[in-house]
Amino acid sequence: MTTDSPAAAGRAAPPAGHAEPVIGRAADRLLLSVVRRTGGWALVLVLAALGSVLAQVLLPAVVGSAVDSAMAGRTDDGRITTCTAVIVVFIVCEVLSDLAAGRSSAAGTAWLRRAQLAHLLTLGGRATARFDPGDLTARLIGGAADAGAAAEAAVWAALSVLPTLTSVVALWLIDPWLALTFLVGMPALVFFLRSYAQDMSALIARYQKVQGAVAAGFVEALGGMRTIAAAGTTDREAERVLRPLPELSGLGHGFWRAQTKVAAQNALLVPLLEVAVLSVAGFGLAAGRVTPGEMLAASRYAGLGAGLGMTAMYLGRLARARAGGGRIREVLAEPAAAYGTGALPAGPGRLELRGVTVRVGGQTLLDGLDLTVPGGTSLAIVGRSGTGKSLLAAVAGRLTDPHGGTVLLDGVPLPELSHEELRGAVGYAFERPALLGRTLGEAIALDDVAEADRPRLSRAAAAACIDAFVERLPEGYRTDPREVPMSGGEAQRLGLARAFAHRGRVLVLDDATSSLDTVTEFKVSTALTTELADRTRLIVAHRASTAARCDLVAWLDGGGIRRVGPHEELWALPEYRAVFRPDQPADEDRSADEDRPAGDDGPATGDGPADERGAAARTSPAEVGA
């Protein structure tokens, strides 16, 4: 439940000033990357769309020429064949452009979703500290789909102007007076189009943000369904989640008003332009400057040139793509932790925290903390709520980086280690583990379970006291976790088994036995002190009995380490005993937790510290390090 920087500690709004233009430029660069990753379909789209537009532009001239030829009695000069060929080319290019548009959009959307998901997983708990999970889902699904269509929107928005430009040239070639007449109305068309594009850009950007807020509220309500049902606040929560709907509806109506406005303007101006061009063409026909076929072509070019409705539509799509790209870019711009290339030397797992300082939400929870954990030692981390126990556990394995100070493992600073080396060296177990994988075996091993791995998994499951539970299932370790109703204690023991199966030299348990009954907790603690005694073990402890079984206790207080020593030695201090008694008496039997379904308000959703206490957005800074 921690963040790596003050900026990531809360969901702050973008800074004022030049933030929006910067985001806009970043979004445009992201859309260019999307276009480059369409596997060549964007190029096919450009060529097919260009062929379609050129055929569309040539068709009035070819038809007009065929009409003049027929009126002159020349029906065998190949002009009808040419007209047919242009129509065939137009049809083929239209079909090919539709195919290329679909394939390019699919490829761009897939790339964006993969890139965004990979970055989110790299951020870990920082992602949900900076953004609401529901909003992230909206960006991943809707935003990626909008931005993935950037190639189609950009190509057609650009090429939709080409018929207008070529129509002016064609009218000039027929009769300069026709082109001049058409150009008189063009400034009004351009003005209407520009106004529409500006209105749509602002509306779409706001619409996507409000849509993300609705999704965020919905996901939050889903996570708290049991609490809502128990409190009888269903109607109130539904009203809270749906509170942005009136604004969303207003924005949707704004889309229709903008589209209706530009359609009405086109409906008024386009016929006037066509009538004006045809009137001038009629005078030209009477004067002998224009042939009947050219007059027919002029009427088509007037309609083609003034028909900027397609341009307006694709500008709207381009605005959606830019808005979606901007929202995705905000996520991708959140810096991920940088890893080195170093490897660990052989060692017992000696962990050192030197001057570690961590701030959350502007509050310093760990302030210049120094702690050395000898290799192979079991160390209990205790302290009152809000003293930063889980924060210390996160820093120890670099699930979050301190704002100051250094963490070393066997003499090597953690940032110098490669990602693979660090994650192979430090294993975690959490209060609410996420059971990832298609089978329980994969959820424990986090990879495909081969026969050679079965003994390792069985030993880990036995140490976590979950082996009997798994073996009673019809398919054993090949059972789908989603098909197994389990209590909070059973889910927690599966998480412990996963940590015990880890081959690293350091094991961190962040309140990972809180849902176990007293007997099971004793068995797990015994395994920690016997079978896993070769590892360095950090155990966030809320029970005095858990602390008593560890070699040493680190007593957190006031942002630092107040005392380090054996539990029996510290127990002589009244202040130390008071750490346990107000919140969790040492002799309290918590066996009732064993029957509680997994998770407090629903299934667990992640393995980071931010997931073990609930979303950071719903936690005050004082609770963050608890």
Q: What is the CA radius of gyration of the chain?
A: 34
Taken in order 405, 409, 411, 412, is the CA torsion positive or negative? Answer: negative
Confidence bin at 540 (pLDDT 50/70/90) = very high
Percentage of residues in the chain with pLDDT exceeding 90?
21
Q: What is the mean pLDDT of residues 245-261?
A: 83
Contacts by 20-25, CB closer than 8 A, 24 or more apart: 23/326, 23/329, 23/330, 24/322, 24/326
* Model pLDDT for residues 415-449, shown as the tens digit of each residue: 999 988 998 899 999 888 888 888 888 888 875 44
What's the angle, vertex CA 389, arms to CA 383 and CA 390, rounded to 5?
A: 150
pLDDT value at position 450? 52
Beta-carbon contacts of residue 592 (< 8 Å; ≥ 6 apart): none
> What is the pLDDT at residue 353?
94
**Residues 470-498, mean pLDDT to the nearest whole number:** 87
- Count Cβ neighbours within 10 Å for each residue of 228-240 and write b for 16 or more, e otherwise: beeeeeeeebeee
Name the 3-class secondary structure at 548: helix
pLDDT at 621 over 90: no
Q: How confident is the model at residue 33 (pLDDT cuts 50, 70, 90)?
A: confident
Strand pairing report for 506-510 and 552-557 = unpaired
Task: Say which range, 276-290, 476-490, 604-618, has the weakest mean pLDDT.
Answer: 604-618
- Other beta carbons within 10 Å of 515: 27
* 553: pLDDT strictly greater than 90: yes
What average pLDDT does range 352-375 have in this prediction? 91
**Which is it for the CA torsion 497, 502, 505, 507, positive or negative?**
negative
* C-alpha torsion angle, residues 424, 429, 435, 436 (rounded to 10): -20
Q: Name the least confident of 305-319, 341-355, 440-454.
A: 440-454
C-alpha atoms less than 13 angstroms from C-alpha of 227 in its C-beta half-sphere: 11
Q: Quick check: 453 pLDDT over 60?
A: yes
Q: Which domains does the chain have, with CATH numbers?
A: 24-332 (1.20.1560.10), 351-433+487-624 (3.40.50.300)
Q: What is the pLDDT of residues 138-183, one digit of tens each?
A: 888 888 888 888 888 888 888 888 888 888 888 898 888 888 888 8
Q: What is the pLDDT of residue 77?
A: 64
pLDDT number for residue 18: 38
Does residue 460 surpass a pLDDT of 50?
A: yes
Q: Which of 537, 534, 585, 234 is nearest to 525 (CA)?
A: 537
Choose the weakest-confidence range: 69-78, 255-264, 310-319, 334-343.
Answer: 69-78
Q: What percentage of the chain exceeds 70 in pLDDT? A: 87
Does position 410 have pLDDT exceeding 90, yes or no?
yes
List 563's β-bridge partners, or say none.
Answer: 555
Question: 386, 623 in Cβ contact below 8 A?
Answer: yes
Q: What is the pLDDT at residue 623?
A: 29
Between β-strands 412-413 and 351-360, what pairing exists: parallel, antiparallel or unpaired?
Answer: unpaired
pLDDT tens per residue across span 78-129: 778 888 898 999 999 999 999 999 999 999 999 999 988 888 888 877 777 7
Judge whether residue 489 has pLDDT over 90.
no
pLDDT of residue 308: 64
Q: Is the pLDDT of residue 7 over 70?
A: no
DSSP state of 140: I
Mean pLDDT within 324-346: 88
Q: Alpha carbon of 265 to those of 192, 236, 304, 308, 402: distances in Å?
A: 7, 44, 16, 11, 59
Give pLDDT, residue 619: 30
- Residue 413's pLDDT band (cuts 50, 70, 90): very high
Q: Given a cut of 90, is residue 392 above it in pLDDT?
A: yes
Which tens digits make up the pLDDT trace of 193-223? 777 777 777 788 788 888 888 888 888 888 7
Whose structure tokens read 């961190």?
Answer: 508
Position 598 pLDDT exceeds 70: no
